[in-house]
Amino acid sequence: MKTVRLNRFLALAGVASRRRCDEIVRSGRVAIDGETVDDPARGVEPAQDRVTLDGKPLAAVAPRTWLLNKPRGVLSAASDARGGRTVLDLAREAGITERLYPVGRLDKDSRGLLLLSNEGDLALRLTHPRYGVEKTYRVSINLPITATQQRRFAAGLPLEDGPTRPCRIRPLPGRANYEVVLAEGRKRQIRRMFEAMGRRVTDLRRVRLGALSLGALREGELRELSGRELQALKRSVGLR
């Protein structure tokens, strides 16, 4: 691996997001070859330099990201206090040993596309509304909504945590099926938006994130993003 900035080295080692790594470096907890360093932009040569955090050696890993087709009933978290299965359990069962972060929210009752990454910066930017990464969902509800209600939905609805941003919605074949495209991702947002219109979501499946789609990936399966896909994903949120 070529020379990298210290904050990026720490992020790749799974310490934290790059912004949090900046704070850690400035606090004097990091050393290179025994010398305390407080500049997050300091260059590191991973093949030669010995980097420690609180005296413990660190090793950077290559940036890697997987696309998961999450089944319903699996928690999008590192662990479940109630002992249920998590997306990281699925990754371990697939033989993936890297320390990963679930990228964004996909609640336990929902299914579909979820990214798992060892890059904290990428995870942060993909979920931050400032970068406007679009997420596409196929949603079924208990009763259809009218064209007028669809326009209200798309314009933004008042929720308890503030009004939603404008989004897109279009009907799909079937009695009460819709495609919804959001550029933000609040907790259970789509479910709450339909609840605000007196409807109940019976099925919610994320099918696309930016340019990535599920393709033929079956539920519970993962595939690693190619180098080209990963670079395109990074460029979409201003990362190199």
Counting other chains too, the contacts that 83-90 makes at CB distance below 8 Å and 24 or more residues apart are 84/108, 87/114, 87/116, 88/116, 90/220, 90/222
Phi, psi of 5 (to 5 degrees): -70, 150
Q: What is the pLDDT along the chain (240 residues), one digit of tens a residue?
A: 578 899 988 887 878 878 899 999 999 999 999 999 999 999 998 878 899 999 998 877 778 899 999 999 999 988 878 888 999 999 999 999 888 889 988 999 999 999 999 887 788 888 888 888 999 999 999 999 999 999 999 999 999 999 999 999 999 999 999 999 999 988 999 999 999 999 999 999 999 999 999 999 999 999 999 989 988 999 999 887
- C-alpha triplet 78, 82, 84: angle, nearest 5°: 60
pLDDT at 1: 57
CA distances from 11 to 89, 107, 167, 215 (A): 22, 26, 33, 30
Q: Which residues contact 111 (CB under 8 A, 6 or more apart)?
A: 69, 70, 71, 72, 204, 205, 206, 219
The predicted model scores a pTM of 0.80
Q: What is the secondary structure of 92-152 as a DSSP string?
A: HHTT--S--EEES---TT-EEEEEEES-HHHHHHHH-GGG---EEEEEEESS---HHHHHH
In the residue annotation, 49 being an active-site residue is answered as no
Query: How, if at all, do strands 201-209 and 111-117 pair?
Result: parallel
Q: Where are the domains of the chain?
A: 4-58, 65-103+117-128+215-236, 134-209
Provide the CATH number for the domain formed by 65-103+117-128+215-236 in this structure. Answer: 3.30.70
Residues 6+ apart with CB under 8 A from 12: 4, 60, 61, 62, 63, 118, 119
- CATH 3.30.2350.10 matches 134-209: yes
Question: Given this model, what pLDDT does residue 185 score?
Answer: 84
Which residues does 199 contact at the CB level (< 8 Å), separation at least 6?
141, 142, 143, 145, 176
Residue among 49, 80, 89, 107 flagged as catalytic: 107
Q: How many residues does the chain have?
A: 240
Report the sign of the C-alpha dihedral through residues 30, 42, 61, 78, in that order.
positive
Question: Please, what is the angle between helix 120-127 and helix 18-26, to 10°?
Answer: 130
Identify the architecture of domain 4-58 in CATH. Answer: Roll (3.10)
